[in-house]
Structure formats: structure tokens, C-alpha cells
Amino acid sequence: MPDEIRILGINGIPLLKKGDDIAKAILDAAEKQGTPVVEDDVLVVTQKIVSKVEGRVYRLSEIQPSILAKRLGRKLDKDPAIVELVLRESRAIVRMSGKHLITETRHGFICANSGVDVSNVSGGDAAALLPVDPDRSARDLREQIRRLSGKNVAVIVSDTFGRPFRIGHTDVAIGSAGIAPVLDLRGEQDLFGYVMKVKETAIIDELASAAELAIGNSNEAVPAAVIRGFKYAHSDEGARKLVMQRKNNLFR
Amino acid sequence: MPDEIRILGINGIPLLKKGDDIAKAILDAAEKQGTPVVEDDVLVVTQKIVSKVEGRVYRLSEIQPSILAKRLGRKLDKDPAIVELVLRESRAIVRMSGKHLITETRHGFICANSGVDVSNVSGGDAAALLPVDPDRSARDLREQIRRLSGKNVAVIVSDTFGRPFRIGHTDVAIGSAGIAPVLDLRGEQDLFGYVMKVKETAIIDELASAAELAIGNSNEAVPAAVIRGFKYAHSDEGARKLVMQRKNNLFR
């Protein structure tokens, strides 16, 4: 039998709100479904429940859109309150075309609408913003899991991003803790002794995508998954390591 | 116990060459390691072994670089024979900067060097090009597996691509057969009854990334993996569905 990697969705996590203990909710749900968290698991948690417990949810009816937000809202056919939140969360507008508003977030991520999201929040009147510091969110969650269970796990906070050159979305890591974000094979020899010049695998993004297969889609009942049996290097670096510097970006 | 998705690397596939039966090699290796292929498995095969059995490997010393290839080779500090192959495989040069040559391939993929690759081929003197029609490669492999084993599996041909806005590479699907490439949730209701406007999950790319976790890195001994327990929709569409039309591309 080969080594095998398992992806386990965690069912039965209750709807969480600001201040709730997300670590406890996940540990309890995993235990209850018969798959308690074990040492070296990779726990992938979707951004939205992290944002909720961190109080990053805003009622759209309470947002005062700026003049710019109102103007862009008309242009893009978007709710000006949402545009206002998008602008507050952004460092730069990268592209604007049709109904698309691609921004660079405060963290340096380039994505649609600064990651501001109205689905699965509360019926369209509220929007969830990305965590202020998703690497810190991941570290806190990892630490709290260790405190409650004694287990060391890697934690990834995932979100769903589009890709500039391919149709469709995949989940990527916006925050991580306890795992090296990149597996760097530059300089290693391949099977024929050829030294590979370029190969840096974005491990945490691949793990986020793998977890999404179990997390699925519109059903918030599964906002987290565990990946078990994957060997990874430990690291204090976070997902910010995957943020591309503007000067290295060929497509800005 | 929740449903679980398993990722199984297939060890012990021999080095293959032009004309070899890739389906038989995979079925034998999977059987031998105690994990025979079963109905509805998703089989992910890396591009390179597909290219090899399809004879898409060229000796660099036998390539006559054009004047353009020589000039770009000097500019980019690349072997002009490799640049020649890159140009032959491309429909357009999308970006050229420093040592980077980003092209649109004959298939419409936008990636570095048209996917031309010298690692894990034969010590640096040969280069593997992408399959001419990776969706057809996937269909042929799926059909041959059905013929030999009686099992219906989905097949994905994967390759390693960089991302314009994020550091590091992930594996994506360049060919597929027997599986819907995209899970389209547009128009479905979320947990709160809000109709989701945008959510099209690039399932086959997520599966390719998940498989890469088992396939690993420089070791060609594991050029394929099976993903078991993932529920997918059957489809005759191929991975070409993920190719973005130039007119919809905000970053060309």
C-alpha cells in the first residue's frame, strides 16, 4: 500500500458569530463525527467563518457610500455599499471592466472585489470582509487548538479566487501557520541528474484546493476540512509569502 | 464518519517511451501496490509521461533555431533550441521580461515557455512539448482503461503552471475526459437563500492540485495519482473549457 492522503470534511460545525471559539467548534465537530484531529493534520478553514468570529461582517444598510463608490457602483452595476467596502479594503484598483472590479487588497492579494463577499452571510444584507491579518488568524487558531487538544496542526485559511488566465475559481490560502507555504525544489536534481531551475510548489494553495473538494460549495455546514497523511515542512512563514511584489508582477 | 476523499500516488510505473501503453502501465502499477483502479476513480496523469508516449520529445541538438529564436535566446539567456520549440508551440508571446517568456500555446493556455520542459526528460539534452490535444489524450487513456479493466474512470492530464499574481506553481488540468471541468453554482441558493451570482469551481484544476500533493516533485517514479471518493458529474467536455477567450481576458 502506498502512503495515502485523506481529505475529511468536518460536518456539523454550528453557525458561528463574533467572538465564538472557532477552535473548540471545529474540535468538537471533528470528534463528534468520529474523526478527531490528530498530530500533524492540516486543518483548512474557509475565510468566511474566520471573518465572522473576528467581527468582519458589515450590514450593507449601515454603510455610507462615498461619491466615488456611488459612481463606480453605477458604472459596474453593483450595490454602492458593497463598492464602498471594496474600496476601503483595497490598496489599488487593478482592473475595472464590465461588471468586474479587480483590486489589490490591504494584504497584497489581487482578487475580485477585495474578497468582500455577500454569499452565505445573511441573506444578502450583510457582507464579510477578509480577516485583517489572515496569517495571524491561522496562528491564533493553531495555538488555540494546541491549547485545547494538545495536538500540533498546520492551519490554512482559504478563500475562493478567480484566475486571470483560466475560467473558474479555485480555493487558495490567504493565511497559514505551522507549514512551509512553498516547497522549493530549485537546485535539486531530477531523475536524470538535470538541475531543475524553476520549481517552487505553492503547497498551501494546493492544500486549499484539495480541501475545497470536500468543503464543496454553497453549503456552509462544511466550512472546514482536515488533510491527513500529507508530509510537510514546519515553518513560521505565513501565506503572505505567496504575495507577489508589484515590481515582479508582469501583468500589472 | 464523513465521506472521505483519498489521494493515492501510483508508485512503480516504469519509465515509458514513445508508443508504450500508458493505461496498462498504470493499471499494473496500481494493482501491484494493492490499490487497483475502481469505478469512478479520478486518475490524474502528469503531462510528461503522456508527452513521452505520444512522441512529443525532441533532442535539443537536432533543433535548428531560427534567427528570431537565436535573438530571443540571447535576450532571455535561454538555449536558442528551447526558444525555437517554445515559439513553434505558441500562438502569441504574451509577456517577455528578464528571463521570463510567457506565451499563449496552440491550445490557448497561457504559461511559461509554452509548457516546453527539459526537467525529467533525459539529462537536459531533450525537451518535452505538451500533447497536441491533451483532451484527446485523456479520452484515449480513459477508453483504454475501460477496455483493459472494465472500469469507468475520469482522466485528467496535469501540468505545473505559474500564476500571474501569486508566487509559486500549482498543478492544473490541461486535458480531461469523463468529468465536468466546472461545477457551476451560479443561480443556486446559499444557506441563507441568497442567490449566488458568481461561483464556478474549476473542479479539474483542484483535482490536479490535490493529486500533485501525492505526485510530489522531482521523482518521476510517481507520475500519476488516483483520487477516490470524490463525487463528480460526468461530461464529454474537456479541459479546453477552462481556456479563457482573449476578449474576456482583462490582463492581456
Q: Are residues A155 and A220 in the same domain?
A: yes
Q: Are residues A185 and A220 in the same domain?
A: yes
> pLDDT at residue B218 above 50?
no
Distance CA A32, CA A24 (A): 12
Distance CA B30, CA B18 (A): 21
Q: Which residues of A55-94 are buried (b: 16+ CB within 10 A; e: fewer)?
A: ebbbebeebebeeebeebbeebebbbbbbbbbbebbeeeb
Q: Are residues B98 and B42 in the same domain?
A: no
Three cell numbers written together for A192: 536524470
Question: Is A217 within 8 Å of chain B by CB?
Answer: yes
ipTM of the complex: 0.94
Q: Are residues A164 and A219 in the same domain?
A: yes
Q: Are residues A62 and A119 in the same domain?
A: yes
Residue A252 lies in a domain: no
Residues of B in contact with A217 (CB under 8 A): 183, 185, 188, 199, 201
Q: What is the per-residue pLDDT across A103-144, written as a single tens digit (0 to 9) for each?
A: 999 999 999 999 998 866 666 688 999 999 999 999 999 999
Q: Are residues B165 and B222 in the same domain?
A: yes
Residues of B in contact with A124 (CB under 8 A): 192, 194
- DSSP of A178-208: SS-S-EE-TT-B-TTSPBPS--EE-HHHHHH
Cβ contact B27:B37 at 8 Å: yes
| CA A183 to chain CA centroid, nearest Å | 19
Question: Is B119 within 8 Å of chain A by CB?
Answer: yes
**Total-model pTM:** 0.94
The closest of A100, A216, A236, A118 to A162, measured between CA atoms, is: A100
Nearest to B170 among A190, A206, A250 (CB): A206
> Which CATH number do you get for residue B97?
3.90.1660.10
Q: How confident is the model at residue A222 (pLDDT cuts 50, 70, 90)?
A: confident
Q: What is the per-residue pLDDT across B221-252, written as a single tens digit (0 to 9) for each?
A: 679 999 999 999 999 999 999 999 888 888 88
> pLDDT at residue B204 above 70?
yes
The domain in which residue A227 lies consists of 6-54+131-243
Residue B250 lies in a domain: no
Q: Are residues B44 and B156 in the same domain?
A: yes
Question: Is A200 within 8 Å of chain B by CB?
Answer: yes
The number of distinct structural domains making up chain A is 2
Cβ contact B114:A194 at 8 Å: no
Interface test with A, best of B7, B49, B94, B165 (most A CBs within 10 A): B165
Q: What is the per-residue pLDDT across B76-135, written as a single tens digit (0 to 9) for each?
A: 999 999 999 999 999 999 999 888 999 999 999 999 999 998 866 666 688 999 999 999
Determine the 3-state secondary structure of B89 from DSSP: coil
Distance CA A53, CA A16 (A): 6
For A:75-114, CB contacts with B below 8 A are 95, 97, 100, 102, 109-110, 112
Residue B251 lies in a domain: no
The closest of B144, B157, B150 to B215, measured between CA atoms, is: B157
